[in-house]
Amino acid sequence: PFMPFVTEELWAHMVEYGEGRGSLLALAKWPVLRDLEDKASDHQIDWLINLVSEIRSVRSEMNVPAGAKIPLVILGGDKVAHRRAMTHGETLKRLARLDDIEFAEAAPKGSAMVVAGETTAALPLAGIIDMDAEKERLVRDIDKAKIDIGKMDAKLDNPNFIERAKPEAVAEARARKAELEDIVARLSSALQRL
């Protein structure tokens, strides 16, 4: 292979700060980024990612149609959130499928609440989904999951099951119970958002 030799030759002829390079590339120190870190930008992008993730979670939990564009209402007088929303508004609209970003002190009626870090926002869903049908669906799903949790509790409380079943089956039953408890928590959170 001759490419490493070509690379070393190019490296030897490159000039950094007016000085030729005296060592081999293979022995050179790894380059260090200077003055390229921007903590403020990192915080802004982290805020944007967190908000988009939360909005997508709410849309998924509430069965909002994928193609539906909904407004976002950022609550409170947080100037930092206001500035970030104005700066990254178009990106936020595209990634979270929003049609508008508004600012208000209180959430509109029939809104799902979104909390992303220090920012609290609302997604008005009253005209997008049937709120009563969605509440009924969530209550039905919560009840079904609670019944399944009861069955898992009965199974795990049975000493015969614990003694006679394979350890993998017991672990699987415990994992299924934890999964069902997580589902109940998520559905309850979605119900509270309504």
- For residue 54, pLDDT beyond 80: yes
Q: Judge whether 3 lies within some domain.
A: no
- For residue 101, pLDDT beyond 90: yes
pLDDT at position 63? 83
Structural domain span for residue 114: 39-124
> How does pLDDT run across 106-121, given as a tens digit for each residue?
888 888 888 787 888 8
Cα(41)–Cα(141) distance, integer angstroms: 41
Q: What is the mean pLDDT of the chain?
A: 86
Cα(107)–Cα(104) distance, integer angstroms: 7
Q: Judge whether 31 lies within some domain.
A: no
Angstrom distances, CA of residue 101 to CA of 51, 96, 109, 110: 13, 11, 17, 17
Answer whether 86's CB lies under 8 Å from 44's CB: no
Q: Judge whether 113 lies within some domain.
A: yes
- Residue 25 is classified by DSSP as G
Binned at pLDDT 50, 70 and 90, residue 100 comes out as very high
Residue 116 and residue 44 share a domain: yes
Q: Is 129 helix (H, G, I), strand (E, B) or coil?
A: coil
DSSP for 32-73, written as a single string: ---S---HHHHHHHHHHHHHHHHHHHHHHHTT--TT--EEEE
User: What is the pLDDT averaged over residues 152-167?
Assistant: 90
Residue 139 and residue 86 share a domain: no
Measured from the Cβ of residue 11, the count of other Cβ atoms closer than 10 Å reads 14
Q: Which has more pLDDT, 187 or 42?
A: 42
Task: Please state the domain count of the chain.
Answer: 2
pLDDT at position 28? 80
Residue 145 and residue 98 share a domain: no
> How does pLDDT run across 63-78, given as a tens digit for each residue?
888 888 999 999 887 7
Q: Torsions phi, psi of 98, nearest 5?
A: -105, 150
Binned at pLDDT 50, 70 and 90, residue 3 comes out as very high
End-of-domain residue from the set 101, 124, 147: 124
Contacts of 87 (CB under 8 A, 6+ apart): 44
